[in-house]
Structure 1
Amino acid sequence: MNFKVLLFLCFGFFGFNAAASAEECSLPLTDQQIKDIVDQERLKRSDLPRSFDKQGWRVTKKGCYYLYMESYEPEIPDVFHVFRINRNGLIVDVIDGQAKILPP
């Protein structure tokens, strides 16, 4: 088989799979919907860290997951929460970076 044809077939196959994977991971959730998911789960689950009295939040997408990040306001090092949420809106991981002592 001609090397160029083989190379074309390989790139075509892997390119098609990458496009299919991107479709599978598309998450039609807004930042506010992600925040609402976390708020609702906090009402049901006692194992999740409580929200801060004063906080800022943001949402980013990483692969097939959303990362919902909260930080104490004004920002203090190591005082944050990160929730990883899958494409079905389920919390699959939580990082609690809350320091032992918070300001009043």
Structure 2
Amino acid sequence: MKSVIPYRFEEEEYEHTYILEDFYCTNPFCDCQHVTISFSQQDNPENRLTFILNFNQTQGQLPNQKKYTKVQSEIIKGFVKNLPKELLVLLKQRYMEAKAFGEKDPKS
């Protein structure tokens, strides 16, 4: 399950518009409790930043991913710290929808 949500991020050191994409595990037997978030710069889609957002509002790095730059780390930490409750609720809802989809279509 995938969607695209425009997300505006502004800070002192960087000012870009990022496109937020969310990716979910559809295995109904997996209790992973996270979403994979990917930001791509609107004016440079190849510039992508992907990380795991745990529903307890911590973050993690994907396996086999190179270390984040200082700016990338700041973007991730700022996003998680300032995550609007409405967005967290939406992401949790989409997580549940992905698990329900996995139950209906186990080959997904």
Q: TM-score, normalising length from structure 2?
A: 0.34
Structure with more strand by fraction: 2
Structure with more helix by fraction: 1
Highest RCO, 1 vs 2 (Cα 8 Å, sep ≥ 6): 2
Q: TM-score, normalising length from structure 1?
A: 0.35
